[in-house]
Structure 1
Amino acid sequence: MVDRLSALDASFLHLEDHTTPMHVGGVAVFERPAHGLDYDDMLAAVRRGLRDAPRYRQKVVRLPGFVGRPVWADDPDFDLRYHVRRSVLPEPGEDEQLYELTQRLMSRKLDTTRPLWELHLVEGLSRGRVAVITKTHQAMIDGVGAIDLGQLILDTTPERGLARSEDRWSPAPVPGFAGLVASAVEEALNQPGELTENLRTAATGARVALRRMTGVLGGVCSTLAAALTPSPSGTLNAPTSAHRRFAVARGRLEDFRAVHHRHGGTVDGVILTALAGALRTWLLWRGEAVTARTTVRALVPVPVDEGMPEIRGSEETGRPFERVAARLVDLPVGEPDPLVRLYQVGYAMRARQDTGRPVTVRALLRLSGFAPTTLHALGARVAGGLSDRLFNLLVTSAAGPQAPLYGAGALMEEIFPVVPLMRNQSLAIGITSYNGGVFIGLNADRAAVPDVNVLAAMIEESVEEMIGTVGR
């Protein structure tokens, strides 16, 4: 039996173009161990991880004329060295050079004739560090056939990452054209609506087909009223160009918790309040009009009744989140007082939570294979199915363990997510907690937000402002 892409995953392939590549990424920085870490070590680590993730050796095989959705098939020409690449930064190897490399890599689409992922080992960082930049297509991360690329190489102990194993993989034969067509026809006869949907996609385009998912995603949106209200227009909804800018911000989880314990609410509310304060300062710095009523609408996927996963999540309970919702939260960037902003954000999130219709992962699986392994992927999927007029920016969060992780025997110091931009979206923010730190990655359109590094610095300043309220 063929392994066919879900309707949503196929839409992501049809939807992307040179301005909106549909891959999720990450930038992880490692402390080089005493024994060293080279390209061969990374190849061995990835090769070992591939045993548990067969999707990473498969490519997409398309059928002509939209007779049926594409299928996954083993790539007989799979070349691990094509997907695992090596780069060396020129001296002095500062972090800004790493982020420049990241934004260049993230601007380029993945090769759809090969398995849809890349891993770049980056050497030459200052202080003897190395980095890993990953790119994985949204169609890959369905929660069933594939896990997140970072999970292939990360271990809880350095010793496991040094183990070598022989690769005995042999590709299964690629399905023949006649067999694929026959299978698609059989499915169409058993499910007449399937053929109708495929023809509609061919006639009207993938974007219309994806938008038809809004009926499903409407259940993910926390309130129908918010979904029907257009978001405030402005800089963050400019036409998307082909190039990106990437910047990062850092915080300490204990600081966010301290603000939460002092003033109530939730830690996710504290983080969103810090983002709102930074956006306010940034808009004023750019000379844009900001009034007391100015808001920026964020699409924020969160576990239902759990808050952001860096506080309570699978690393503490040992169980993955089974219920998720994407809330539309109007960030009060017009409010100058950080405490008032905190209360306003808390109120907005409680209102969304009280009236929301959470959708279980199992229910989404039955509908369309909508079951990503991280909230970063979930957020991008939800954003892709909603009108770009409903929100200004995407803010995703994914939990990481509060204990050290190792890649190929090297200690991971930091990890920053790279969330893709949707059409007419100029900024996406990803937040990952790990080992006591909160790491924020900002992926921005180069033409609309060339000063994203300024915004990143303002986020850290806004976090310090929130910390200063603990004594108030």
Structure 2
Amino acid sequence: MTVPGNGYMRASDAFSWYMERDPALRSTVVAVIWLGSVPDWDELAALIGRMSRFMPSLRQRVVEPPFRLTTPRWADDPHFDLNWHLRRVTAPAPHTRAVVLQLARLSAMDAFDRDRPLWELTLVDGIEGGGAALVLKLHHSLADGVGGMRMLAVMLDLQREPSDLGEMQSAPLGERLDLRALVAGAVGSVAGRSAYLAQRGAQMAIPALMRYARDPVGRIRGTAAMARSIYRTAAPILDTKSPIMRERAMTRHLAMMEVSLDTLKRAAMTVGGTVNDAYLAAVTGGLRRYHERHDMAIESLRVVMPISLRTESDTSWGNKITLQRLTVRAGEPDPATRMRLLHHVTETARKEPSLSVTDVIAGALNLLPASYVGGVLKHIDFLASNVPGIPVPVYLAGAKITGFFAFGPTIGAALNTTLVSYAGTCHIGINIDTAAIPDPDVLLECLRESFDEITALGTAGQVPTG
């Protein structure tokens, strides 16, 4: 997917932009970074200003082309004002973390001003114990989880004393785009893409014909497999798997959980799995318990899981994921068996043939009515994301970071759970649609019980070595 910077969005990024025609499908990410003390405000503002020059998208707005001739483009905001994006407030009484989560919740539910760059950062001081928090609001088209962590890393230090960052880069000039320039740019973009596709088609045609000549039956099977994969990815679905988490609205509830990363790793190793397998097994187990609390049994649930399209050599910070729909056996009561089943399902998803044509699928969806896109996403039961974070304690503008929680968008699902690892702890942000789950405290209790069940495997089980 496109890294922002004076270019046209790829269709995959444009998909997250256009689907917001339905407010329930907003792609707003909110993160809460907990700090052990109040950071130096001037130092923080200088760091943010520097980052906005190092990463152009933080000074860019999205400009839509006339008549949808092509995808939207990133353009430098001629009226960029850092002070509009960077704010400072004091936590009201009772000065607890719950107050900060309330501020983050309101921010998550509020739409972006689409005439400005798509981010906001608020420092909240006055928290009990002398702590503070940063509430970051970011549109998903700017960065995925890995990209967001790389953006943050630009500002971090390994010691309390801030580093000397040297001379500040000059700020980019803003762009004033009139209708003629927008049309000309859009036409040029379409022509360039058409030429590229024609060239790629010619490059691929001869090898494809040769493969077909050598193995016509295999090629037919491959085409059929691709068609089935695309259908699994993009076909509309008519109902949720959950019999109770069916309603959708615009009100959200945010919650946090913490789990030891080492304990989760040990639990996963008991079945030869990964941290992601243990995490998904805990979330699905919590949802199974939640349904049982409501005297309902479930066999399976539908989940959307981000799949990274990054290569090992990719060091960029933009948005490079695609969303994959999976059906998981949430009703399996045995946690070890559930982890094994989830490992198989997620590994299969990472090999879906349609991953290679993600941008083509997104381009087609961009041309369809919002109601169709809603049908693709709105009957998802939950989303789950796992973001590798920073393995050691770090500092920001002189303040030690004590926790990092990301709250991904629900985009039509009942809830989104996002795991970010930091300094040996898994910080899990939970974003709940309260129309689907009107008793979030009950769900959170069920999730805690399920995580305890999973982590107990690593304590009591025999962990393979070697």
Per the shorter chain, which TM-score range?
0.7 to 0.9
The aligned residue for residue 346 of structure 1 is 340
Q: Which runs of 5+ in 1 are unaligned?
A: 195-217, 371-383
Choose which of 408, 411, 418 in structure 1 pairs with 2:397: 408
Contact 1:406/1:412 (8 A) holds in 2: yes
Contact 2:268/2:339 (8 A) holds in 1: no
Aligned equivalents of 2:230 and 2:120: distance in 1? 37
The aligned residue for residue 448 of structure 2 is 460
Q: Are 1:393 and 2:398 counterparts?
A: no
Aligned equivalents of 1:451 and 1:258: distance in 2? 32
The aligned residue for residue 439 of structure 2 is 451
> What secondary structure is seen at the aligned counterpart in 1 of 2:436?
coil
Distance 1:175 1:253, change over 3 A: same
Contact 1:253/1:437 (8 A) holds in 2: yes
Choose which of 24, 29, 33 in structure 1 pairs with 2:34: 29
> What secondary structure is seen at the aligned counterpart in 2 of 1:100?
helix
The aligned residue for residue 440 of structure 1 is 428
Choose which of 284, 287, 295 in structure 2 pairs with 1:276: 284
Distance 1:81 1:146, change over 3 A: same
The aligned runs of 1:64-463 (5 Å cut-off) are 64-141=66-143, 149-160=151-162, 166=168, 168-189=170-191, 232-239=241-248, 241-285=249-293, 287-290=294-297, 294-302=299-307, 328-336=325-333, 340-354=334-348, 357-358=351-352, 387-388=376-377, 391-423=380-412, 425-463=413-451
Distance 1:334 1:186, change over 3 A: closer
Distance 1:3 1:163, change over 3 A: closer
Amino acid at match of 1:441: G
Aligned equivalents of 2:316 and 2:13: distance in 1? 22
Question: Highest Rg: 1 or 2?
Answer: 2
Aligned equivalents of 1:428 and 1:413: distance in 2? 23
The aligned residue for residue 42 of structure 2 is 40
C-alpha displacement at 1:436, in angstroms?
0.3
Amino acid at match of 1:232: K
Deviations 1:325-346 (A, max 9, x none): 866554444343xxx2321331
Amino acid at match of 1:427: L
Task: Give the superposed CA RMSD.
Answer: 4.0
Contact 2:234/2:376 (8 A) holds in 1: no
Amino acid at match of 1:269: D
Contact 1:63/1:180 (8 A) holds in 2: yes
The aligned runs of 1:46-61 (5 Å cut-off) are 46-61=48-63
C-alpha displacement at 1:137, in angstroms?
1.2
Aligned equivalents of 1:118 and 1:406: distance in 2? 20
C-alpha displacement at 1:441, in angstroms?
0.7
Aligned equivalents of 1:359 and 1:408: distance in 2? 45
With the length of structure 1 as denominator, give the TM-score of the two structures: 0.75
Deviations 1:243-275 (A, max 9, x none): 211111110011112222344333222222221
Distance 1:155 1:110, change over 3 A: farther
Distance 1:254 1:56, change over 3 A: same
> What secondary structure is seen at the aligned counterpart in 2 of 1:159?
coil
Aligned equivalents of 1:98 and 1:355: distance in 2? 36
Aligned equivalents of 1:284 and 1:82: distance in 2? 47
Amino acid at match of 1:10: A
C-alpha displacement at 1:131, in angstroms?
0.7
Aligned equivalents of 2:405 and 2:105: distance in 1? 13
The aligned runs of 1:6-21 (5 Å cut-off) are 6-16=10-20, 17-21=22-26
C-alpha displacement at 1:165, in angstroms?
5.7
Contact 1:442/1:452 (8 A) holds in 2: no
C-alpha displacement at 1:399, in angstroms?
0.2
Distance 1:220 1:134, change over 3 A: farther
Moved more, 389-398 or 1-10: 1-10
With the length of structure 2 as denominator, give the TM-score of the two structures: 0.76
Aligned equivalents of 1:249 and 1:235: distance in 2? 23
Q: Which runs of 5+ in 2 are unaligned?
A: 197-224, 364-372, 462-466
Aligned equivalents of 2:305 and 2:227: distance in 1? 11
Moved more, 244-253 or 161-170: 161-170
Contact 2:326/2:345 (8 A) holds in 1: no
